[in-house]
Structure 1
Amino acid sequence: MKEKIIISVAILVAALSNALGDHHKNNSHLSRVEGVWIEEKFQEPEHFKSGFYKIIAGGEHRVLAIKDGILQWMHGGSVSYDGKILTEKPHYSTKGNDFPGQTLTFSVERKSDYFDQKGIPGSGSFEELSEKWNKVGDSEDSIEGSWIRELDNGRIMVKIIVDNFWQWVAVNPATTEVTASLGGSYSLEEGVYTETTHFRSKDNANWELGSQWQVEAKVSEGKLHFSGENQNGNDFVETWEKLDHNNHRYQTITKGRASILDFQRWCNAHQGLWMGEVTSVIGEDAFGTKKGSYTAYWQFELLEGGRVGSSRFSGNGKSGVGHTYYDPAEQEIVQINISSDGTIARSTITPDGSDWARQTTHTKPDGDQSQLSSNLTIDEGKGNITILISGKVGNEQITGQKNVWHRQHR
């Protein structure tokens, strides 16, 4: 069932309006810090050719380091702001940048045309940071926001347009690495959109800085359409989808395939201590044969480095341990649980729309195996995970066994 990755664009954190329109009409606290900003110590007379920039638009953030028209490094992902604390969750970056999978929190106070950003003691990262970010430009164009599209080679393109600034990045969803990028300034006059390139990634060596791209631009039904003629004189239409974090559309949506972004989203959603009244769980020998229910607990944490999740289970007089990791070759999330009674459950997990599909090989201590299918629905707002499990264990047919877990704390 492996199909092409369908991209959409985050995670998960900032509440966005589904209505189209410019970012200034967003009534959330986040709108106060949306736009293009340059760190004061790196202020340059000519914008977007050199400097240290922070871009925030449509629930998406980026931090860019540019020198002489070459993108030195960057990271980007989802962002939220409650009026005091800015939370950045990088999901992709240039090679060698280890920010993806981390959560970065800063104290931010917006002033007139700048904001102060400071580290938070005890946050674990950038605690001594103290920066001043100055506003660059301002506009209220209908095409502003964050947009995504999929390339034929499976790369994800994420484009930000805000305050006369534009940038697209191409991301390898299996590694979260930014493989190519262009950016600069734009103008929009009577539907004619003109981009001027001021910087490029190191991989775009053949792209001429200062070159322009002119097309007609139109926003319709949540999509941004660019139309014009290509270099061969043929008509083309390039379509981008609107970013929508509320529906998890920032994450790569797949059927039968997962990305490292999905792994990060899975781990983030499972973090913490959980309690449930369960009939049985896939990691125990008696699964599918028990009646009634019992109280169980399990705890999940992402280990240092952000590549492996560790879990512990206890209930009904038994315990278990588990590990969750991402398999880049198979493009699957893999979970292995081992119970104190000797039962082993090996599962592969992939996104299924906004839910998750889990396929499990259940191996009893005597070597008997069963195949189980599960549907998992995660309600992060309520802190619930609902699991429906089906399959055949021995002579027992299981259909839609329901376990509900409630988060106790992160």
Structure 2
Amino acid sequence: MAINVSAQSLKGAWKSQQPNNSTAVMILADDYLMISSFSILNKYFDRTEGGTFTMKDGKLTYNREFHSADTAKINKTVTYQVDRKDSILTLRSEDEDLVWMLVDDAASVPMAGTWHITERANGDAGELVKIHQSGTRKTLKILSGTRFQWAAIDPAVKGFYGTGGGSYTIKDGKYTEKIEFFSRDNHRVGAELSFNWALKDGRWDHSGKSSKGDPIHEVWEKIK
């Protein structure tokens, strides 16, 4: 059955099988998306890209803020005609047709969205300190109902500094990530990281141990 297409109806995670036997996963939040291509079996990271998007009259206009494999595509806009039938999403442009299968529908998931760090514990006392963003470099984390991806980027200089992602669960005050790709170190693939989790007034309180075993305490908030 055809579905009336809006940004809200696309919100969630989608997957597609690639010609090189890797899997591509696309996560869409309210006005941001990230796509990553990887192989869990081979612990292989292929590429990633992402940026802002808008929906109007059945068309998705996407402006890339980062692209790990081709910097010439950064800050370039592409428009796709969008067609959704049940769990199949087709994006058509002048250059390509992309077919995606639904992984999860995140329209009503509180954690679904694009997040950035606003506070971080600093020093031995572990007190949270406001982060005063300067410049254009940023680290974003996008979540669907079951999937996550983070990316460290600087669109102004076409900078890409790393990404990772996989699946996540939340249960009994614990947020647990299972890493399926990591651009800097493929040995992290398959690892599980569990953190203390709380969500209050739009603030995601995140604490525990990093993948290196270092203590972390951060507050993330959704990008408006």
TM-score when scaled to structure 2?
Answer: 0.78
Match of 2:199 in 1: 219
Match of 1:31 in 2: 8
Name the structure, 1 or 2, with higher relative contact order (CA <8 Å, separation 6+). Answer: 2
Once the two structures are superposed, the pairs formed by residues 118-197 of structure 1 within 5 Å of their partners are: 118-119=92-93, 127-138=94-105, 140-149=108-117, 155-172=137-154, 174-197=156-179
* Counterpart-to-counterpart distance in 2, 1:209 and 1:234: 19
> Aligned-residue CA RMSD in angstroms?
2.9
CA contact (8 A) 1:58 1:243 kept: no
Cα deviations by residue, 1:290-309 (Å, 9 ceiling, x for unpaired): xxxxxxxxxxxxxxxxxxxx
* Counterpart-to-counterpart distance in 2, 1:233 and 1:94: 27
Counting aligned pairs with the same residue, the percent is: 24
CA 1:66–1:229 in 2, change beyond 3 Å: closer, same or farther?
A: closer
Cα deviations by residue, 1:195-253 (Å, 9 ceiling, x for unpaired): 0101111xx12752111111122223333220235589886421122111xxxxxxxxx
Match of 2:38 in 1: 66
The one-letter amino acid paired with 1:73 is R
**Aligned counterpart in structure 1 of residue 188 of structure 2, from 196, 205, 208:** 208
2:114 counterpart SS class: strand
Match of 1:99 in 2: 73
Match of 1:199 in 2: 181
CA 1:171–1:212 in 2, change beyond 3 Å: closer, same or farther?
A: same
* Counterpart-to-counterpart distance in 2, 1:88 and 1:187: 29
The one-letter amino acid paired with 1:227 is S
The one-letter amino acid paired with 1:213 is L
CA contact (8 A) 1:148 1:241 kept: yes
Match of 2:62 in 1: 88
Cα deviations by residue, 1:333-375 (Å, 9 ceiling, x for unpaired): xxxxxxxxxxxxxxxxxxxxxxxxxxxxxxxxxxxxxxxxxxx
Match of 1:112 in 2: 86
* Counterpart-to-counterpart distance in 1, 2:20 and 2:27: 15
- Unaligned regions of 5+ residues in structure 2, if any? 121-130
- Unaligned regions of 5+ residues in structure 1, if any? 1-27, 45-49, 120-126, 245-410
Once the two structures are superposed, the pairs formed by residues 214-363 of structure 1 within 5 Å of their partners are: 214-229=194-209, 236-244=216-224
The one-letter amino acid paired with 1:137 is D
Match of 2:50 in 1: 76
CA contact (8 A) 1:54 1:61 kept: yes
CA 1:225–1:83 in 2, change beyond 3 Å: closer, same or farther?
A: farther
* Counterpart-to-counterpart distance in 1, 2:154 and 2:91: 30
* Counterpart-to-counterpart distance in 2, 1:182 and 1:41: 19
The one-letter amino acid paired with 1:183 is G
* Counterpart-to-counterpart distance in 1, 2:190 and 2:206: 20
Match of 1:345 in 2: none
CA contact (8 A) 1:197 1:210 kept: yes
Distance apart, 1:171 and its partner CA: 1.2
* Counterpart-to-counterpart distance in 1, 2:29 and 2:43: 22
* Counterpart-to-counterpart distance in 1, 2:157 and 2:105: 34
CA contact (8 A) 1:42 1:51 kept: no
CA 1:143–1:91 in 2, change beyond 3 Å: closer, same or farther?
A: same
CA contact (8 A) 2:12 2:112 kept: no
CA 1:34–1:43 in 2, change beyond 3 Å: closer, same or farther?
A: farther
* Counterpart-to-counterpart distance in 1, 2:110 and 2:116: 16
Cα deviations by residue, 1:13-49 (Å, 9 ceiling, x for unpaired): xxxxxxxxxxxxxxx92011121112355697xxxxx
CA 1:133–1:83 in 2, change beyond 3 Å: closer, same or farther?
A: farther
Q: Which runs of 4+ in 1 moved over 6 A?
A: 150-154, 231-234
2:53 counterpart SS class: strand
CA contact (8 A) 1:75 1:97 kept: no
CA contact (8 A) 1:32 1:110 kept: no
Count of residue pairs brought into register by the alignment: 203
Match of 1:56 in 2: 28
Cα deviations by residue, 1:271-296 (Å, 9 ceiling, x for unpaired): xxxxxxxxxxxxxxxxxxxxxxxxxx
TM-score when scaled to structure 1?
Answer: 0.45
Distance apart, 1:107 and its partner CA: 0.5
